[in-house]
Amino acid sequence: MYNRKKLNIAMIGYGFMGRAHSNAFHQAGHFFDIPFDVRLKTVCGRNQGKLQEMAAGWGWEDTATDWERVVRRADIDVVDICTPNYLHEPIAIAAAQAGKIVLCEKPLANSVKEAESMTSAARHVPTLVWFNYRRAPAVALARKLAEEGRLGQIYHYRGLYLQSWGTNPAEPEAWRFNPGEAGSGVIGDLLSHSLDLATWLNGPLRRLCSQVHTFAQGRQVDDAVTLLAEFSNGSMGTFEATRFATGNQNRNCFEINGSLGSVEFNLEDMNLLQYHDLAHDTQLQGRRSILATGPGHPYVDRFWPPGHIIGYEHTFIATLVDFLSALEREERFRPDFADALEIQRLLDAVGRSSGWHTWVDVAPTGSGAASGNSGTQTSGPVWLGSSAPK
């Protein structure tokens, strides 16, 4: 495509997510006919040495250490936030007030109050939140099957996000155990992904009841959470997120059981969708593996020939491509800040339910198409154990 409008990107943060985002900015135009000329203009962070390495390795044009100046620069069109969670709010608000397009890692914030402030400030600018697993082709196929009614009435939704590195935290990710920076542990880091997928695939929640636990002595964030839920469509939901699931590296799973069929997905085998169709003769029924790499599967026709698998990084590429397409059409992209605010309200309800040892009603607000609202809002991070109000 010729005469494309330039979009100069400023990325705040340069860790693991910074690499994933940088790769998406580079690769989107290689695989898809995107409507913009995406330029990696500035990468911003606190360590000049690491910034130089990031810029040299990923092709950023320049570096900066003052994000407040960066978001005000006239040559910056898009601000991408991949910092620790506590910085999401001030950066997003400043960027939105400067009229920038704002992209942000999940969870949106450390509290409902922060998320509300961000969403309000950014209501007149395009936003994206990197709930990237929606764009895994097998996940998008699962949604398509559900929308087409192939699963029938939904009875059960099960969501798992299991990791095992909680006993031996890696130094680059140590901020995730600091409540001042991360706000919460697996609730914000892992459960947010599970709840986003659940509400996107199965609709809003009606109420929930949770248990939160910390295994590591002296740790001030949650190591594990389990959750019972009721969906507005009448189905039952169970969720579990933990960093203490020995033997699981990054097992992000869901299973949906309906009156006509079922689907199951596991990120550790992300190209496959397990599908059971009750329409088959009884003697032929059983789960079958669908290799969601085409033909006819979402996104993959632009990557490799059918049967050639894709990876984690492609979910970010597809997310960015969908965002740029919506931006060109001047349409709302999903999930945006309003959608992520709904997830933040659910996370808050999870913390309150655990602290109060009771069910919490969660009613949709209408700002997101398929999310829930925790009702009473709080201004701080989710409640953990004895810190809950009595």
Task: Pick 281 or 114 by higher pLDDT.
Answer: 114
pLDDT average, residue stretch 252-265:
98
277-287 pLDDT per residue, tens: 998 888 878 89
Domain residues for 300? Answer: 134-310+335-361
Report the pLDDT value the prediction gives residue 167, as an integer from 0 to 100. 86
pLDDT average, residue stretch 37-56:
96
Task: Pick 113 or 172 by higher pLDDT.
Answer: 113
Q: Are residues 275 and 357 in the same domain?
A: yes
Phi and psi torsions of 240, nearest 5°: -145, 135
Q: Are residues 128 and 148 in the same domain?
A: no
For the chain, the average pLDDT equals 92
In a domain, 379, yes or no: no
Q: Are residues 151 and 128 in the same domain?
A: no
Cis peptide before 335 (omega within 30 of 0): yes
How far is the C-alpha of 299 from the C-alpha of 136, rounded, in Å?
A: 8
Report the pLDDT value the prediction gives residue 384, as an integer from 0 to 100. 33
Per-residue pLDDT band at 2 (split at 50, 70, 90): low
- Tell whether the model's pLDDT for residue 382 goes beyond 70: no
Q: Are residues 84 and 122 in the same domain?
A: yes
- Tell whether the model's pLDDT for residue 20 goes beyond 90: yes
189-231 pLDDT per residue, tens: 999 999 999 999 999 999 999 999 999 999 999 999 999 999 9
329-355 pLDDT per residue, tens: 999 999 999 999 999 999 999 999 999
CATH number for the domain that contains residue 138: 3.30.360.10
In a domain, 385, yes or no: no
Q: Are residues 11 and 139 in the same domain?
A: no
In a domain, 143, yes or no: yes
pLDDT average, residue stretch 18-42:
97
SS3 state of residue 28: helix
Q: Are residues 64 and 28 in the same domain?
A: yes
User: DSSP class of residue 128?
Assistant: E
How far is the C-alpha of 331 from the C-alpha of 224, rounded, in Å?
A: 38
Report the pLDDT value the prediction gives residue 285, as an integer from 0 to 100. 83
pLDDT average, residue stretch 97-122:
98
In a domain, 64, yes or no: yes
pLDDT average, residue stretch 177-186:
95
Q: Are residues 138 and 128 in the same domain?
A: no
Q: Are residues 76 and 113 in the same domain?
A: yes
Q: Give the whole-number percent of the chain exceeding pLDDT 70.
A: 92
278-330 pLDDT per residue, tens: 988 888 788 999 999 988 899 998 999 999 999 999 999 999 999 999 999 99
Report the pLDDT value the prediction gives residue 374, as an integer from 0 to 100. 29
Report the pLDDT value the prediction gives residue 390, as an integer from 0 to 100. 26
* Contact residues for 303 (Cβ-Cβ < 8 A; gap 6+): 31, 310, 314
pLDDT average, residue stretch 131-136:
98
In a domain, 330, yes or no: no
Q: Are residues 193 and 282 in the same domain?
A: yes
pLDDT average, residue stretch 73-93:
98
**For residue 98, with 0-12 CB atoms within 10 Å meaning exposed, 13-18 middle and 19 or more buried, which class applies?**
middle
Q: Are residues 68 and 141 in the same domain?
A: no
- Tell whether the model's pLDDT for residue 367 goes beyond 90: no
Q: Is the CB of residue 346 less than 8 Å from the CB of residue 206? A: no
Report the pLDDT value the prediction gives residue 373, as an integer from 0 to 100. 30
* pTM, full prediction: 0.92
Angle in degrees, CA 319, 254, 207, rounded to 5: 100
Task: Pick 169 or 350 by higher pLDDT.
Answer: 350
Q: Are residues 71 and 144 in the same domain?
A: no
Report the pLDDT value the prediction gives residue 170, as an integer from 0 to 100. 64
| Number of domains comprising the chain | 2
Of the residues 100, 132, 164, which one is the last residue of a structural domain?
A: 132
User: DSSP class of residue 386?
Assistant: G
CATH number for the domain that contains residue 43: 3.40.50.720
Task: Pick 372 or 146 by higher pLDDT.
Answer: 146
Q: Are residues 37 and 126 in the same domain?
A: yes
